Amino acid sequence: MMGNCRVCGSAISSFMSFGKMPIANAFLRPEDFSREYFFELAPAFCQTCEAFQIVEQPAPEMMFHSDYAFFSGTSRAMAEHFQRYAAAVRARHLNGPDPFVVEIGSNDGILIGNFAASGIRHLGVEPSANVAAVAKQKGINTLVRFFDAACAGQIADQHGKADAIVAANVICHIPDIDAVAAGAKRLLKPAGVFLFEEPYLGDMVQKTSYDQIYDEHVFIFSVGSVSRAFAKHGLEVVGAEPQPTHGGSMRYTLAPKGGRKADPSVARQLAVEAELGLGRAETYERFRANCERSRERLTELLHRLRREGKKVAGYGATSKSTTVLNYCGIGPDDIEFISDTTPLKQGKFTPGMHIPVRPPEVFHRAPPDYAVLFAWNHRDEIFAKEAEFSKHGKWICFVPEVGVVE
C-alpha cells in the first residue's frame, strides 16, 4: 500500500499488511454486523524522516465520538501511574505563581484530575463526549473538542498561555501532527513544556507487540522521529524517559527551542535507537517475519486446545486485541467470550471477529481452562486480582512470545 508520509510528505510504502481491519474500539451488536466498516491496516516506515505510521487511517470522527469505548479509569495501576506523572510535572515545571496546565486527550480525567484535586488551574481537551462527561461530573474542567492549532489559539486567548501541556496515549493518535505541534507552540509560554508519553517503537520491535498497531495509533513514535516532527515547529525534545506502561512507552519532554537544555537522556536514547536499528528498513522486515511467526504459533496453540476440547476465554477486550483477533483469524470457535470490566463493551461483540464480551462475573462463575491475556500490559494488576483463577486455569500470553504461562 502506498501513501505519503504525514510528517515530511515523502512517498511511503507499507512493509506489510495486517489485512482488512474494523475500528478497534467499535464493539457492536448483531444488528450492526452487516454494516461494519473495514479499512486496510498496513504500517510503513518513512525512509526520509523515520516516522513509523499506518498508511490508511479512518477519519478521527469515526473513532472518537459520544460512544467511545475506552475509559482510562479501568486500571488501578494506571491511575497510580498518572498520579506519579502529575506529581513529577508539578515538582519540576509548575513552580511559578498561578500555573496553568492543559491536557490533550484527557478522557475521564485520570491524569488532569490530579491537578484539579490540588486546586491548580487546568483544562482537559477531549473530543469523546461520553468519557469527557465522566471527567466533568468529577468537577474537572473539560473542553469537548479535538485539539488542533485553532483550539490552542482559543484556549490561549481565553485562559492565557500554559506552563505545561501534558498528554498520554493520544499524540500518536492524531494524524495531523503539524496541527499538534503548531498548537502546542502557540499555547505554551516561552519557558513552558509539552510532555507526552506514548507506546514506544523500540519496545514494539523488540517484543513483537504488533497489537500496538491499530486504527487509533497512526504513529508509533521514537525519540528520533519525534525530534524531527516537532523541530520544524520550533519545539525541541529535551527529555526522554522510558515508562513501563502499555507494554513499554516513552515520555517525551519538549520545550520551545532555546528554552531549555536537553537532558542527557535524549542522546542516550538516540544511541539505543541506533543500536536497535530503528532507522533501518531491515528492522521492519524482521519485525514482519516475527509477526507472521507469532500468528502461526498462536493459531496453532488455539487449534490444538480446541481439538482437545478445552474451554478458552479471553481476558480484556482491548483495542489491541482487535488487531490480534482479525490478523490471526481467531473467532468465537476458538475463544468463547472475552471478559472485560467496561460496561459499554459488555453484552456486545468484538469488532470484526464477533466474539461476545462478558462481565468478569461470567469469567468467575464458569472459569475457562485457559485465558488469553489480551490486556498483557496490565499483567501484574490482573494476575494479582485473578489469583483464584490461576489456581485451576492457565494463562496464555503472546508478547513477547506465544505460550502458556507456567
Where on the chain is the footprint of ligand SAH (CB under 6 A)? 60, 64, 68, 70, 72, 104-105, 107, 110, 125-128, 131, 146-147, 168-170, 173-174
Residues linked to residue 54 through DSSP beta bridges, in sequence order: 43
Closest CB to ligand TYD among 81 and 122? 81
Report what 340 binds from ligand SAH, Zn ion, ligand TYD, none; CB cut-off 5-8 Å by kind. Answer: ligand TYD
Q: Contact 273/223 with Cβ under 8 angstroms?
A: yes
CB of 385 to ligand TYD, least distance (A): 6
Q: How many CB atoms within 10 Å of residue 55? A: 21
- Applying CB under 6 A, does 74 fall inside the site for ligand TYD? yes
Helix or strand or coil: residue 313?
strand
Which residue in the block uniquely carries the three cell numbers 473539560?
Answer: 142
Report what 55 binds from ligand SAH, ligand TYD, Zn ion, none; CB cut-off 5-8 Å by kind. Answer: none
**Angle, vertex CA 83, rays to CA 92 and CA 168, nearest 5:** 80
Site string for ligand TYD, 367-396 (x = CB under 6 A): --------x-xx--xx--x-----------
Which residue in the block uniquely carries the three cell numbers 483469524?
Answer: 329
Closest CB to ligand SAH among 107 and 114? 107
Q: Looking at residues 75 to 114 of the shown chain, list those that interact with ligand TYD (rule: CB under 6 A).
A: 75
Q: Contact 44/53 with Cβ under 8 angstroms?
A: yes
Closest CB to ligand SAH among 60 and 331? 60
CB of 339 to ligand SAH, least distance (A): 20
What distance lies between CA 326 and its chain's CA centroid? Answer: 18
CB of 129 to ligand TYD, least distance (A): 19
Cross-sheet strand order for the sheet of 219-220:
43-45, 52-54, 219-220
Q: Give the whole-angstrom CA distance, residue 24 versus residue 320.
A: 7
- Applying CB under 5 A, does 4 fall inside the site for Zn ion? no
Phi, psi of 287 (to 5 degrees): -60, -45
Which residue in the block uniquely carries the three cell numbers 535524549?
Answer: 266
Helix or strand or coil: residue 297?
helix
What distance lies between CA 214 and its chain's CA centroid? Answer: 9
Helix or strand or coil: residue 26?
coil
Q: Quick one: which of 323, 326, 342, 350 contacts ligand TYD (CB under 6 A)?
A: 342
Q: Give the whole-angstrom CA distance, residue 61 versus residue 342.
A: 21
CB of 75 to ligand TYD, least distance (A): 4
CB of 257 to ligand TYD, least distance (A): 33
Report what 146 binds from Zn ion, ligand TYD, ligand SAH, none; CB cut-off 5-8 Å by kind. Answer: ligand SAH
CB of 361 to Zn ion, least distance (A): 48
Site string for Zn ion, 14-53 (x = CB under 5 A): --------------------------------x-xx-x--
Q: Looking at residues 249 to 278 of the shown chain, list those that interact with ligand TYD (rule: CB under 6 A).
A: none
Closest CB to ligand TYD among 114 and 318? 318
CB of 105 to ligand SAH, least distance (A): 3
Q: Looking at residues 47 to 76 of the shown chain, list those that interact with Zn ion (rule: CB under 5 A).
A: 48-49, 51
Residues linked to residue 43 through DSSP beta bridges, in sequence order: 54
Longest dimension (CA), the chain: 67
CB of 46 to Zn ion, least distance (A): 3
Residues linked to residue 165 through DSSP beta bridges, in sequence order: 102, 194
Q: How many CB atoms within 10 Å of residue 219? A: 25
Phi, psi of 348 (to 5 degrees): -100, -175
Strand segments, DSSP code E, in 135-218 are 142-143, 162-168, 188-199
Q: Report the interface residues with Zn ion, using CB under 5 A.
A: 5, 7-8, 10, 46, 48-49, 51
* Residues at the interface with ligand TYD (CB under 6 A): 70, 74-75, 316-320, 340-342, 375, 377-378, 381-382, 385
